[in-house]
Amino acid sequence: MAGLPRDEAGTAASYASLARPLLLPTWLIIGVFLLLPVLLMVVYSFLTKEFRGGVEWTFTLAAYEQFFVTRGLFGDEPPSIEWTYIIIFWRSIWQAALATLLCLVIGFPTAWFIATRPPQSRGIWLFLITIPYWVNLLIRTVSLRFILRDNGPLNDALIVTGLIDAPLPILNSDVAVQIGLFYSYLPFMVLPIYAAVERFEFALSEAAADLYANRWQVMLHVVLPAVRPGILAGTILVFIPALGAFLAPDLLGGAKAFMIGSLIDEQFRGSQGNWPFGAAISVILMTLVLIALFIQARAASRGAS
């Protein structure tokens, strides 16, 4: 922003000396509630597991070895790659990615629709989108159980309309988990895209159309690059929480197969827990997310230049 008016720049300068003290609470909160816990997690992942919960303060790589290396059930086979946890990660990533894609497919037209309404009615549409999310996530997930079950309203309706003869076994399946994930995070996709589309200068698409671009070309070369930051933000906001979700897999998927979230949860539960291993899984997950964010940030900066 090269052309800041003089008076605004002047105001900014007059507050400059206050910047540090005013930012102090923010730094404190980030330090105490973000950096410190993450640091603790990293430290714990290198400690020795104490039998029946807790840790001993002895350095070890055992937690990471448990994640990547197997020696068979009895621990006496030659070491080979442990696929168990990689499969669990893969399943979670796949479910989260699919949920993100579904959110995008439904969320983009929705956001577009809202952003192209007259300004005075947009607020109402946004309001309608957010209403279901005033209810706690746990309650919404349990409610989905009621809707999806064999003798629930969804199957009843399908049977009454004659589309199916017997109830579809949706509950306790991957499909139910997917519905839960998609539904939980949809507004996180709609809202940032809406913000981007609302700022979009529609004169640009009209100009493109005047220059004989067809609808696809307008969308691909004019609209999408302009709203790209909104799409990227929405993708991150959906993908990352979906990756660690454990309510939907537990309540809708029947907890039959571990996802990353439930695998970590299990490590801190009861007398069979393994805190260093739980911490190590968290560190590995966080590393993957950071790598994904890094790639995304590079893509975004390339897109901007």
Residues within the interface to other proteins (CB under 8 A) = 51-54, 73-75, 84-85, 87-88, 138, 145-146, 149-151, 169, 171-172, 250-251, 254-258, 270-274
- Shortest Å, Cβ 45 to other proteins: 18
- Shortest Å, Cβ 1 to other proteins: 47
- Shortest Å, Cβ 116 to other proteins: 41
Name the residue nearer to other proteins (CB basis): 145 or 228: 145
Helices (H), strands (E): how many in the chain? Answer: 15, 4
Do 62 and 49 contact (CB within 8 A), yes or no? Answer: yes
Spatial separation of the C-alpha atoms in residues 115 and 168, rounded to whole Å: 37
Name the residue nearer to other proteins (CB basis): 72 or 109: 72
**Of 85, 54, 65, nearest to 273 (Cα)?**
54
The three-class DSSP label of residue 40 is helix
How many CB atoms within 10 Å of residue 179? 21
Name the residue nearer to other proteins (CB basis): 146 or 202: 146
In DSSP terms, which residues pair with 70 in a beta bridge?
80
User: Residue 162: left if φ>0, alpha if ψ -120 to 50, beta else—which one?
Assistant: left
Task: Using CA atoms of 151, 153, 158, 164 in order, give the dihedral in degrees to the nearest 10.
Answer: -10
In DSSP terms, which residues pair with 80 in a beta bridge?
70
- Shortest Å, Cβ 94 to other proteins: 15
Name the residue nearer to other proteins (CB basis): 119 or 270: 270
Name the residue nearer to other proteins (CB basis): 26 or 136: 136
Name the residue nearer to other proteins (CB basis): 225 or 254: 254
- Shortest Å, Cβ 147 to other proteins: 12
- Shortest Å, Cβ 12 to other proteins: 45
104 CB-near residues (< 8 Å, 6+ apart): 189, 231, 234, 235
